Amino acid sequence: MKRLLTLALSGLALTATPALAQDVTVTNARLVIGDGSAPIEGGAVVVRGGRVVYAGPASGAPAGGMTIDAGGAWVTPGLFATVTTLGLADVAAVGESNDITANGSPFSAALDASAAINPTSQHILVHRAAGITRAATTTLPSGSIFGGQGAIIDLDGDAKPVMQARAFQMIVLGENGGTRAGGSRVAAHVLLRAALREAQALIGKAGTPQTTEIAKDDALFLGRFDAEALVPVVTGQQKLYIAVDRAADIRAVLALKAEYPKLDLVLVGASEGWLVAKEIAAAGIPVIANGLTDLPESFEQLGATQSNAGRLARAGVKVAINAATMQDPRRLQQVAGNLVALTRVPGASGMEWDQAFAAISSVPAEISGLGGKAGVLKPGALGDVVLWDGDPLEVGSVPTKVFIGGVEQSLESHQSRLRNRYRDLDESDLPKAYDW
């Protein structure tokens, strides 16, 4: 009976009105700031009005508010997942529930993920319970090289999941881009430049002609609305995420910067990035790198190695871990942990623990334009605090409490409810359908 009551309460909690931000102090923490610094034993983090006001040794913490004794547990900033499709699909293979791609749409760059984020998506609930509190989420290319405009979201499940709409434009080059541009990398590069030129024309760059669209037969590679959507890209107001893997394709992206100096570029994937690490570092372009991709899955990934991220970082590149190349973004912790494992493998390059954690917290937040605000516990940052039942990079560790913007979150989901229902198979009184 007690169990039933507990379950009933948790069921109610799932649908309850979100609470207001609390003033919370977490003490006795193995405190991870998230900026690459070492954990602080006996640390404390203080959140007031939804923001971090203190994080450091307990001795310096201001008093007041609700206090939680972490009992020596790991306490970290919320993880920041990039690049994801969280909130854009219920079941990826169920087409009508999937807003990630739009094969039949005439639009590409104009697509705006923020219009469709479902804050109560099960994937958001599941990933929140895995310690991910914010994410960059985006539509993906289908009819052209342009995937559309991604959004920065929070995972608190309230009515406003979008923190920043149209935060970046997502495009693919390489094999994928070539396919979508009509059959070759060459075509993709012409399309990209033509599109950027159209965007410049729309803001009055002298001498640049305007066309209404770029199309072939039924395929529209760029329409007027897409060109308009690229204006903030070409002016550097909106980040341009370019997914490429081959070293030569990475160099081609770096070369874009000479033609379009205002582009605010981010490389995504970059499986062979380690082969051009110095050039990427010199260009000052951050990389959302594939973490454990080590197979020549395509001819543009022949040099793929799990040491890619580590080698890029060692060359001075700002490296976040790409959530798009794992089964689900909740594996970010596992991928980061594996990068730590590589530091003990002869000949491999990995990351020390503090750096690996930063690669799934503060660094992706910085790349997303939220430096100092997300993925880090520093005064002024958003009050995203996660308490863990173990080392957060160890497989099997999960959060015991998650705060987003100072609000404690429910960790319930479809999965947790199934788990509770099937904790035994006892149907001696009634079918399982009555156990909820």
Q: Which residues bind other proteins (CB under 8 A)?
A: 90-94, 122-123, 126, 247, 272, 275, 292-299, 301-307, 327-328, 330-331, 334, 337-338, 340-342, 344-348, 389, 393-398, 414-415, 418-419, 422-423, 425, 432
- β-strand pairing of 287-289 with 264-269: parallel
Output the smallest distance, CB 46 to other proteins, in A.
29
Based on CB atoms, which residue is closest to other proteins, 121 or 149? 121
Considering beta carbons, is residue 213 or 294 the nearer one to other proteins?
Answer: 294
Q: How far is the CB of 106 from other proteins (least distance, A)?
A: 26
Q: How far is the CB of 321 from other proteins (least distance, A)?
A: 14
Nearest to 309 by CA among 258, 343, 262, 283: 343
Query: Shortest approach of other proteins to residue 20 CB, angstroms?
Result: 30
| Residue (66 or 295) nearer to other proteins, CB | 295
**Could you tell me the smallest distance in angstroms from the CB atom of residue 247 to other proteins?**
7
Pick between residue 202 and residue 348 the one whose CB is nearest to other proteins. Answer: 348
Question: Could you tell me the CA-to-CA distances from 148 to 108, 179, 196 in Å, in that order?
Answer: 6, 17, 14
Taking the C-alpha atoms of residue 310 and residue 394, their distance in angstroms, rounded to an integer, is 18
Per residue, what are the HEC states of 19-88? CCCCCEEEEEEEECCCCCCCCEEEEEEEEECCEEEEEEEHHHCCCCCEEEECCCCEEEECEEEEEECCCC
Distances (CA, A) of 281 to 232, 273, 311: 25, 10, 11
User: Within its chain, how far is the Cα of 55 from the centroid?
Assistant: 24
Work out how close the CB of 61 gets to other proteins at its nearest, in angstroms, rounded to a whole number: 30
Q: Output 149 or 306, the one with its CB closest to other proteins.
A: 306
- Quick one: residue 217, left, alpha or beta (phi over 0 = left, psi -120 to 50 = alpha)? left
Whole-angstrom Cα distance, residue 307 to residue 343? 9
What single-letter amino acid sits at 59?
A: S
When the beta carbons of 311 and 373 are compared against other proteins, the nearer one is: 311
